[in-house]
Amino acid sequence: MSYFPTWRLTNDATVMPDERLPTSAGVPMAIQHLLAMSGSTIVAPLIMGFDPNVAVFFSGIGTLLFFFLTAGRVPSYLGSSFAFIAVVIAATGYSGTGANPNVALALGGIIVCGAVYALIGLIVMSVGTSWVEKLMPPVVTGAIGVSIGLNLAPVAINQLKGTGSHITIALLTVLAMAMISAYGPRTTRRIAVLLALVFGYLLVLIFGNGLGLVPGINFAAVSNADWLGLPHFVAPEFQWSAITLIAPVAVVLVAENLGHIKALGSITGQNMDRYIGRGFLGDGLATMISGSGGGTGVTTYAENIGVMAMTKVYSSLIFVMAAIFAIMLSMSPKFGAILQTIPAPVLAGLAVSVFGLIASAMARIWIVNKVDFAEPRNLFTVGIALILGAGDFTITIGSFALGGIGTATLAALVLYQLLGINKKPETLAD
């Protein structure tokens, strides 16, 4: 069997990963996937103060790398991971508006996180995934994920504070995203973040630039920006304080990617477990490459799984085209300048929505996997992790500091195993 599939041309209603559509149908499908990922991949760097053009550029590069390492058999798009937001903001002291002056510090941590993630991938490729599933069962991964969302709550509230007009626009943006997600057609629900951003942006244009009732948008930087040009890359700096905060996110990325590949296997009817180690390695290396040039940490995207489930087009070649389009888009400084004009209240509304969804979406892991909270082992693992994460409990030993996300992760991993000592097999089930 060759390394890559042959991608047989088909016009069937269901297109498998090793099949392809005619170019006339494949290009619009690639653009749809680009739109599905764009809301999160653009919003995440803006919330952290990163350059969104750089993030989009490395999302394309990372997707191509993932495609190569998984032999083109795992249809996935790699975009900015929300799991990094809390730790990056904590490590850099970012205020929430404008460019983050300490991006370089975060990049060092992101690279180390990617290295840990890639190492886990190599181990999985050698010995399999059973140890990962035993170390990080649903109760643990859910606890870590919810802790990240709760840890971000003060950040979202601080961004929400301001004048009456600021709060009003922010809350209307939140409402728009909720309404689109609840009542919109399936195609629009996949890009609810992007549509809410556009809605908030239009509000400021109408009531600010048009009626003068709120501060308007200044388009001077957009006018002065070139149409074509390279993104503004940034070199990383390595400091233990940032590394110890950010590196533990590798655990969350493992859980995300593991669930992603298993979900792909479910919807395609093809068992993809043999590619899990390669997927970890690809995602880890893509995160390292992204961090080396000023981009965010990356992960596989649930939004793109949603598009595949809706369209039943799983061809991995679609993601190659989407990645190429993303790289081309990132080469426009004018596009980046437009993104930088997104008003603060709109970003605040998106932060409230997105951070809340991180917590609630990760809590869904417990429901889907029927975690038994009558079992003290599960109850204490989750309870302690949530308190440490939400309270941002930090352990400092000399120059070494482990922040709230790190302590919550460590507590969940260790406590679950300690409370399982001498347990009978039937009590270990979640």
Range of the domain at 141: 12-359
| Helix residue spans in 184-275 (DSSP H) | 186-189, 192-204, 220-224, 240-246, 249-268
Distance CA(137)–CA(77), nearest Å, equals 25
Residue 415 lies in a domain: no
Q: What is the pLDDT of residue 339?
A: 77
Domain count, the chain: 1
For 76-117, the DSSP string reads --EEE-GGGHHHHHHHHT--SSS--TTHHHHHHHHHHHHHHH
Q: Is the model more confident about 336 or about 329?
A: 329
Query: Pick from 55, 1, 91, 127: which is nearest to 326 by CA?
Result: 55
User: What's the pLDDT score for residue 171?
Assistant: 93
SS3 282: helix
Q: What is the pLDDT of residue 5?
A: 87
Question: Does residue 401 lie within any of the structural domains?
Answer: no
Distance CA 69, CA 40 (A): 24
Question: Which residues, at least 6 apart from 283, have a Cβ–Cβ distance to it below 8 Å?
Answer: 62, 66, 78, 117, 121, 253, 257, 298, 299, 300
Place of tokens 């961090």: 291
Residue range 216-243, pLDDT digits in tens: 888 888 888 888 888 889 999 999 888 8
Q: Could you tell me if residue 402 is inside a domain? A: no
The DSSP 8-state label assigned to residue 207 in this structure reads I
pLDDT for 411 beyond 70: yes
> Which pLDDT belongs to residue 11?
82
In a domain, 377, yes or no: no
Q: Please enumerate in sequence order all residues whose Cβ is within 8 A of that of 349, keeping only pairs 6 or more positions apart, or say none.
A: 160, 169, 170, 171, 172, 173, 174, 177, 196, 200
**The pLDDT of residue 430:** 44
Of all residues in the chain, what percent carry a pLDDT higher than 70? 94
Instruction: Answer whether residue 7 is part of any domain.
Output: no
**pLDDT per residue as tens digits for the range 110-162:** 999 999 999 999 999 999 888 887 888 888 888 887 887 787 788 778 878 88
Beta-carbon contacts of 269 under 8 Å, excluding residues fewer than 6 positions away, are none
pLDDT band at 253 (very low <50, low <70, confident <90, very high): confident
> Residues 1-36: pLDDT tens digits?
688 888 899 888 788 888 888 888 888 878 877 776
Q: Does any domain span residue 62?
A: yes
- The single-letter code of the amino acid at 391 is G
Q: Which residue has the tokens 């603060």?
A: 344
92: pLDDT strictly greater than 50: yes
For residue 428, the model assigns a pLDDT of 44
Q: What is the mean pLDDT of the chain?
A: 84
Residue 394 lies in a domain: no
Cβ 286 vs Cβ 62: under 8 Å: yes
Residue 412 belongs to a domain: no
User: Residue 427 has what pLDDT?
Assistant: 44
In this structure, the chain runs to a length of 430
**What pLDDT shows up at residue 415?**
92
State yes or no: pLDDT of 107 exceeds 60.
Answer: yes
What count of other Cβ atoms lies within 10 Å of the Cβ of residue 418? 11
